[in-house]
């Protein structure tokens, strides 16, 4: 017999703003910023290495904050929080802006190759 799924925490828009703000602040703490920088340097813009090295550190930092709001202290809690933020992004511009800021902290800047693969010389 399967066990009942754990109750997902429900946060209001206002509560989600607060938690998201705290998560962003947690990434700015010197010890967490150093952990993220070290992981990013080790990954050196290799997306596979980013997933192996940066994502676990980022998940731990987020877990430390969101567990106080009823999310479980495993990767599943971070995913549930991310889904909640995504749901509110369309309703609240402040949440959308904070979500974009958080994504920028987690992901390296993407460089796109020129269309056509070569740069045309101007004369």
- How does pLDDT run across 37-83, given as a tens digit for each residue? 999 899 887 888 888 999 899 999 999 999 999 998 777 899 999 99
* SS3 of residue 53 by DSSP: helix
Alpha carbon distance 53, 46 (integer Å): 10
Domain that includes residue 75, residue range: 13-106
Tally of domains in the chain: 1
Residue 118 lies in a domain: no
Query: What is the mean predicted confidence (pLDDT) over 79-108?
Result: 92
Confidence (pTM): 0.78
Residue 114 lies in a domain: no
Query: What is the mean predicted confidence (pLDDT) over 82-86?
Result: 94
Residue corresponding to tokens 């998940």: 59
The per-residue pLDDT for range 9-43, each reduced to its tens digit, is: 689 999 999 999 999 999 999 999 999 999 989 98
Residue 60 lies in a domain: yes
Residue 73 lies in a domain: yes
Residue 45 lies in a domain: yes
| Residue 42, CA distances (Å) to 33, 46, 109 in order | 14, 9, 16
């Amino acid at each position: 017999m399967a066990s009942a799924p754990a109750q997902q925490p429900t946060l209001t828009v206002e509560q989600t703003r607060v938690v998201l703000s705290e998560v962003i602040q947690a990434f700015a703490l010197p010890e967490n910023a150093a952990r993220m920088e070290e992981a990013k340097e080790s990954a050196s813009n290799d997306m596979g290495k980013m997933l192996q090295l940066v994502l676990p550190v980022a998940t731990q930092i987020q877990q430390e904050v969101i567990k106080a709001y009823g999310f479980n202290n495993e990767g599943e809690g971070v995913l549930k929080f991310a889904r909640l933020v995504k749901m509110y992004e369309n309703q609240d511009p402040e949440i959308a802006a904070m979500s974009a800021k958080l994504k920028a902290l987690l992901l390296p800047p993407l460089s796109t190759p020129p269309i056509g693969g070569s740069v045309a010389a101007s004369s």
